[in-house]
Structure 1
């Protein structure tokens, strides 16, 4: 069986992760996870422009969250729904890094598993898939995934120099729901 994208990137450490992380990142085919999240957007006008370019959701508190996954081993499509606001990204492995296309921007992340947690660290960024941007500008983009009380928990924050926070969203997910909308 072909390894999933996260199995390709993390390799052996993947299999030492907590059960909820292995289940979410082990999806083959289609899956749905549901939970709750809080989203905080930056207030700087340039933060707003960047958030629009990457199709980030607006600020909202404790909203129903649903993520539909489509995974074929070569790539994963994550269709997030934060209280009715959609955010879609495509993830795949290239050269041992996790690549994520989000709107007009493509990120390359080095993933590290430590003490049951996955940390995402920016290794490279491209605009429109062509124009490389200095990775150092994106050192404030970080993601952490872990298990808490048996549930998958996530925290994502994106800050840029001179602009400040673009977005911060955090919450939890668990398997459930169905592939029907809503």
Structure 2
């Protein structure tokens, strides 16, 4: 059985660093612990957008990601302190679809310079399409630094500025049990 990201990336999956491969190749339930830094934008509309998408508040400290993965989809709950940010990822005809609250993002995935890049292709809110150009400043990177899995996610919108920028690391070599809900 091929994991979701392996199926989406095909041969490019092998070009990812080992820690990124391990995170995305695993199936089943697991929890990864790490550290995260979250910076939030100050614009009033940024706060509203973050609330709708359930994006994390400003934060610095220990964090966890609970993942439940099959070959068809992945359910992630990113935990920044007391804030839980659930999402569901699955294959879409145009790439990788992620659902965050009432938002549905479709990302194009690409491997460049040993980094997995996520770029927005389309966005829907409550099923209604939003102009893709609004989301040119939204993306993510996954990479390895000093043998550790790292992530860097940024969301910047025109005229509003930064919604959220979060980054950090996870210990993908020591998954821990996932607690009961």
| TM-score of the superposed pair, with normalisation by structure 1 | 0.95
Q: Secondary structure at the match of 1:14?
A: helix
Q: Secondary structure at the match of 2:29?
A: strand
Q: 4+ residue stretches of structure 1 with deviation over 6 A?
A: none
Aligned partner of 1:101 in structure 2 is 99
Aligned partner of 2:109 in structure 1 is 111
Gap regions ≥5 residues in structure 1: none
Q: Secondary structure at the match of 2:171?
A: strand
Work out whether 1:32 is the aligned partner of 2:36. Answer: no
Query: CA-to-partner distance for each residue in 1:157-182, whole Å, 9 max, x for gaps?
Result: 0000111100000000013322127x
Q: 2:3–2:26: 8 Å Cα contact kept in structure 1?
A: yes
Aligned partner of 1:91 in structure 2 is 89
Aligned partner of 1:17 in structure 2 is 16
Query: CA-to-partner distance for each residue in 1:21-51, whole Å, 9 max, x for gaps?
Result: 0000112111111100000111000000000
Q: What's the RMSD between the two structures over aligned residues?
A: 1.1
Aligned partner of 2:70 in structure 1 is 72
Work out whether 1:137 is the aligned partner of 2:139. Answer: no
| TM-score of the superposed pair, with normalisation by structure 2 | 0.95
Q: 2:149–2:171: 8 Å Cα contact kept in structure 1?
A: yes
Aligned partner of 2:145 in structure 1 is 148
Deviation of residue 115 (structure 1)? Answer: 1.6
Q: Secondary structure at the match of 1:10?
A: helix
Report the Cα distance in structure 2 between the residues aligned to 1:125 and 1:4, rounded to whole angstroms. 24
Q: 1:9–1:96: 8 Å Cα contact kept in structure 2?
A: no
Deviation of residue 72 (structure 1)? Answer: 1.3
Gap regions ≥5 residues in structure 2: none
Q: Give the paired residue count.
A: 178
Q: 2:94–2:106: 8 Å Cα contact kept in structure 1?
A: no
Q: Secondary structure at the match of 2:55?
A: coil
Q: Secondary structure at the match of 1:76?
A: strand
Deviation of residue 96 (structure 1)? Answer: 4.7
Report the Cα distance in structure 2 between the residues aligned to 1:21 and 1:96, rounded to whole angstroms. 22
Report the Cα distance in structure 1 between the residues aligned to 2:50 and 2:155, rounded to whole angstroms. 10
